[in-house]
Amino acid sequence: MLVYKFGGTSVGSVINMNHVKNIINTNGKKIVVLSAMSGTTNALVEISGLIEAKETKQAEKQINQLHKTYNKTIYDLIQDQSLIQEVSGYVNSIFKSVLGCVNQPHTTLLHNTIVANGELLSTFMFSRLLQQEGLKAALLPALDFMRIDRTNEPDNFYIKQNLERLINNTDEADIYITQGFICLDAEGQITNLQRGGSDYTATIIGAAIEAEEVQIWTDIDGFHNNDPRYVNDTQALSHLSYDEAAELAYFGAKILHPQTVMPVRTLDIPLRLKNTMSPNAHGTLITNQIHGEGIKAIAAKDGITAIKIKSVRMLLAHGFLKKVFEVFEKYETSIDMITTSEIAVSLTIDDITHLEALTEELEKFATVEVDDYMSIVCLVGNHIIYHPDTPQLFQVLQDVNVRMIAYGGSNNNISLLVNTSDRLETLQKLQRYVFEGEAVGV
C-alpha cells in the first residue's frame, strides 16, 4: 500500500481538493493523510488563545466567522443534496462543540481539543467529495489508532494493531482517509504531534503498514538547495539520503516536520516529496542511497538562543560537562549545537521554556552568558567535511560574524551560528559561491 499526505494548501481550496482527488484516483489501495485546510489550525489556535484570555465575545465572533467560511466551502465543493445535508450537519456539530468550549476553564486538553477540529473538518469534507465522485473511500478516525506514549514517541505496537483492526472492520475501500497531526496521549486524551505534524503521521502510518512508499504532497517541488524565502533561484533536489533530509528538516527547512524521516528510515521505506500544483515535477526522493558530493543544501533555523557556560575554576575540570548536561536533562531541554574550549562550553537551544531555571542552576558552578536572536545555518551534503571545496567556506564567510561553528560532529553537516540579522546575508553569500560558482574575493 502507498501512504499519501496532503498539506494545508493542497486541501485549502475547492480547486486544490479536486487536484488531490485526481492524484489519488489511481489503481491500488492507499491511505491518505490530510492536514487541516490552510489557515484553519492558526485560526483555532487564536480562538483558544482568546478563550484563555477570557475574551469571550471575540472568541465567539471568530468561531462564527470560521464557521461561515466552511459553510461556503461546502456549497462550492459538494453538489449532491443529501451529501450537502450530511456535511453541513457535521460542520455545524463541530462549530457547536467549539462554541461550547468558550466558557470552559482553559486547559491543555481544551486547547488540544479545539485545534484538533481542523483535521476532522478537512477529512470529513474530502471523504464526502470522493463519495460524490464515485470513488470508494472510507474514513479511518486517527483518534482510534494514533497514540503517543509517555515519552511522546509514537506507540508503534498500539498503532499497528489498532490500524489493522480498523481497516479490517471498515467497509472495503480503495482510499482510506485519515487525519494527520491529531492523536491520543498515554492517558487516552486528545493531543497532537506538534505543528506541522501531519507529515509525521504519514510516516508513522507508513511504518505501521510497511508501505511501499510514503508520499508527502505540498505546494513546492520538494526540498530546495537553499531557503526560497530568502534566496532567489534555488533549485529542487531530486535525491536526498534519510540523514541529509533529517538534518535539513531539523535545521529549518520548513517543508518537512523534523521527525518525519525517522519512522521510514529504519524500515528503508522510500519517502517522496511532491508538489500538488505540479504533479509531474520529479520532487525529492529520500532513500538510504547517497547521491552527489560536496555541499548539497543549506537551511536556516531562527529563534536560537546561545548559552556560554564558563567554568569558575577556569579549567574544564573533570565532570564539568556532565554537570552541565545534567542540568539540561533535568529541564528536558535539548541542545542543538555545542562547542568547547579549555575553559568554557557554548551551546544552543531552541526551546527557552526553562531558560531562567537552567541559568540559575548553571550559575551555581559556572558563569553564564545568554545571547538570543540567533540563527543556525546548516550545510548538508554527503561527507562534506572531507570535500576539497569545503575549506573555501571560511573565505566566503570572512565578513560574516560567525559566532560558533560545529564541524565534524557529523560527516554530513556543518552548522554555523550567526546573529539572525546576518542570516540573510549568510544564505545569499553561500548561494552565490556554493551554487552559482561565483569566485571568492571578486
**Contact status, residue 378 vs residue 248, Cβ threshold 8 Å:** yes
Among 46, 84, 88, residue whose Cα is nearest residue 67:
88
Among ligand ASP, Mg ion, none, what does residue 242 contact (CB within 5–8 Å per kind)?
none
DSSP lists the bridge partners of residue 211 as none
Q: Helix 81-99 crosses helix 117-132 at what angle (to 10 degrees)?
A: 180
Does the footprint of Mg ion cover residue 222 (CB under 5 A)? Answer: no
Q: Which residues of 378-404 are buried (b: 16+ CB within 10 A; e: fewer)?
A: bbbbbebeeeeebeebeebbeebebbb
Give the residue ranges of DSSP H helices in 275-342.
Answer: 320-330
Does the footprint of ligand ASP cover residue 41 (CB under 6 A)? Answer: yes
Among 36, 33, 38, residue whose Cα is nearest residue 215:
33
Q: Which CB, 196 or 258, lies closer to Mg ion?
A: 196
Does the footprint of ligand ASP cover residue 35 (CB under 6 A)? Answer: yes
Query: Segment near ligand ASP (CB under 6 A), from 13-21, 193-201, 271-279, 407-415?
Result: 193-201
Does the footprint of ligand ASP cover residue 381 (CB under 6 A)? Answer: no
Instruction: State the DSSP H helix or E strand holding residue 20, giving kind and residue range, or none if neither.
Output: helix 14-24
Q: 189 to 208, contacts with Mg ion by CB under 5 A?
A: 196
Query: Segment near Mg ion (CB under 5 A), from 1-9, 51-59, 315-323, 339-347?
Result: 1-9
Does the footprint of ligand ASP cover residue 36 (CB under 6 A)? Answer: yes
Instruction: State the DSSP H helix or E strand holding residue 298, giving kind and residue range, or none if neither.
Output: strand 297-311
Q: Which CB, 8 or 252, lies closer to ligand ASP?
A: 8
Does the footprint of ligand ASP cover residue 191 (CB under 6 A)? Answer: no
Q: Which CB, 8 or 154, lies closer to Mg ion?
A: 8
Q: Which CB, 36 or 63, lies closer to Mg ion?
A: 36
User: Closest distance between ligand ASP and the C-beta of residue 175, in Å?
Assistant: 20
Q: 148 to 187, contacts with ligand ASP by CB under 6 A?
A: 180-181
User: Among 113, 179, 198, 415, which residue sits at the site for ligand ASP (rule: CB under 6 A)?
Assistant: 198
Rounded distance between C-alpha atoms, residue 112 and residue 17, angstroms: 26
User: Among 12, 154, 197, 222, which residue sits at the site for ligand ASP (rule: CB under 6 A)?
Assistant: 197
DSSP lists the bridge partners of residue 21 as none
- Count CB-CB contacts under 10 A for residue 40: 22
Among Mg ion, ligand ASP, none, what does residue 181 contact (CB within 5–8 Å per kind)?
ligand ASP
Q: Which CB, 145 or 200, lies closer to ligand ASP?
A: 200
Task: Give the cell for residue 193.
Answer: 504531534
Kindly state the number of chain residues that form the binding site for ligand ASP, as judged by CB under 6 A.
12
Q: Which CB, 7 or 381, lies closer to Mg ion?
A: 7
Question: At 339, is the secondary structure helix, strand, or coil?
Answer: strand
Among 369, 367, 359, residue whose Cα is nearest residue 307:
369
Question: At 366, is the secondary structure helix, strand, or coil?
Answer: strand
Q: Helix 117-132 crosses helix 108-115 at what angle (to 10 degrees)?
A: 20
Q: 6 to 25, contacts with Mg ion by CB under 5 A?
A: 7
Does the footprint of ligand ASP cover residue 118 (CB under 6 A)? Answer: yes
Residues lying near ligand ASP in the complex (CB under 6 A): 7-8, 35-36, 41, 118, 180-181, 195-198
Binding footprint of Mg ion on the chain (CB under 5 A): 7, 196
